[in-house]
Structure 1
Amino acid sequence: MNSINKNGCSVCQPGKENYTTYTTKLGRKRVRMYQYDYRTEDGELFSCCAPTLEVCREKRDKWMKNR
């Protein structure tokens, strides 16, 4: 299994993004999700889960705009 964490902490470097996929069950249907981390140049971490990488990046962009 690929992971973007080590000992429960994000390994995301400043100014970079990391992501991995996992599957989960939604009712009877299996759904692929993305776990996404982005760390700003000054070290602040954004993390989310969404059904596509594009949605993760949209959430990150919104977060960046509002911080």
Structure 2
Amino acid sequence: MLNPKNLLPGEEQHEYYKDRVTRKRRCQYDYRAEDGTLFSCVRLSLEACRSARDEWAANRKEA
């Protein structure tokens, strides 16, 4: 099980699991930004999680 409290700024962690309802493989992903903000998501793949993280980071820079 992931514990985002263990993440240092700039670090990421992920793990795959099987969803009990849909029976599909999912990826849980956590990323701690350099300023200490935590980003978490669940997607079908690690690549999709990283893409969501990059979009999140880009939107933060614009604001």
- TM-score bracket, shorter-length normalisation: 0.7 to 0.9
1:43 matched to which residue of 2? 36
Runs of 4+ more than 3 Å apart: none
Contact 1:14 1:40 in 2 (8 A): yes
Partners of 2:18 and 2:28 lie apart in 1 by: 10
Partners of 1:50 and 1:12 lie apart in 2 by: 20
Length-normalised TM-score, structure 2: 0.84
Partners of 2:13 and 2:7 lie apart in 1 by: 6
1:4 matched to which residue of 2? 2
Q: Which amino acid aligns with 1:14?
A: P
Q: Between the two proteins, what is the percent identity of the paired residues?
A: 48
Unaligned runs of 5+ in 1: none
Q: CA RMSD for the aligned pairs? A: 0.9
Give the number of the structure whose residues are more often strand, by fraction. Answer: 1
Length-normalised TM-score, structure 1: 0.80
Residue 55 in structure 1 maps to residue 40 in structure 2: no
